[in-house]
Amino acid sequence: MQHQYEHTDHEMIKMEVNLDDIPGEWLGHVMELLLEKGANDVFYIPIYMKKNRPGTMLQVLCSEKMAEELMNIIFQETTTLGVRYYPLSVKRLGRQFTEVETPWGSVTVKEGLLNDKVVQRAPEYSSCKVIADKNHIPLKRVYEEVWKKIDK
């Protein structure tokens, strides 16, 4: 979801599950499914569980209206028997996109706006990757070139 203006989302949910008996391949699959279905963020944290067993905490951030559908994916696709969830608010910067010219082509840069002022800038990964692949150059070289232009 793109956000042109700075705002706070108050109707968000964070879901968590601790998993100690799930193959890593399944975790990748679960992440893809959750993101495809509309999760705002999905990530894993390595943890230690009872009896000092290594495990993984799955955390999902989504809107309240998406919570049940995403929770169903978690129950169907993981080994958990329960999901913790709680409401939270998320402050979001406004966003706009600009283009930066490099020797190999144009790169999209995302800018974060606070009180209508740019406070964050970052090259878009997908835009940089296309240029790196097309020109057979390291991705980091594309990033370095973009950073030189936007740090001025």
39 and 102, same domain (yes or no) = no
Cβ pair 57, 68 in contact under 8 A: no
Residue where a domain stops, chosen among 90, 107, 127? 90
Instruction: Tell me what the mean pLDDT of segment 105-117 comes to.
Output: 93
- The boundaries of the domain holding residue 59 are 9-90
107 and 82, same domain (yes or no) = no
Q: Is the pLDDT of residue 119 over 80?
A: yes
Take residue 16 and report the two structure tokens written for it.
Answer: 């968590």
**Using CA atoms, how far apart are residues 19 and 55, in angstroms rounded to an integer?**
5
User: Using one digit for the tens of pLDDT, what is the confidence trace for 44-63?
Assistant: 999 999 889 999 999 999 99
Does 2 map to a domain? Answer: no
Q: Which residue has the higher pLDDT, 107 or 10?
A: 107
CB atoms within 10 A of CB 72: 12
Q: Is the pLDDT of residue 82 over 80?
A: yes
The angle formed by the CA atoms of residues 93, 99 and 101, to the nearest 5 degrees, is: 145
Predicted confidence at residue 2, as pLDDT, reads 52
Instruction: Report the percentage of the chain scoring pLDDT > 70.
Output: 97
Predicted confidence at residue 152, as pLDDT, reads 66
Instruction: Tell me what the mean pLDDT of segment 74-103 comes to.
Output: 94
Please identify which residue in the block is written with the tokens 């042109």.
4
**In this structure, what CATH number is given to the domain that contains residue 66?**
3.30.70.1380
Predicted confidence at residue 124, as pLDDT, reads 96
User: Using one digit for the tens of pLDDT, what is the confidence trace for 20-32?
Assistant: 989 989 999 999 9
Take residue 120 and report the two structure tokens written for it.
Answer: 């964050």
**In this structure, what CATH number is given to the domain that contains residue 131?**
3.10.20.300
- Residues 6 or more apart whose Cβ sits within 8 Å of residue 50: none
Q: To 10 degrees, the CA torsion angle through 60, 61, 67, 71?
A: 0
Instruction: Tell me what the mean pLDDT of segment 83-98 comes to.
Output: 93
Residue where a domain stops, chosen among 67, 90, 113? 90
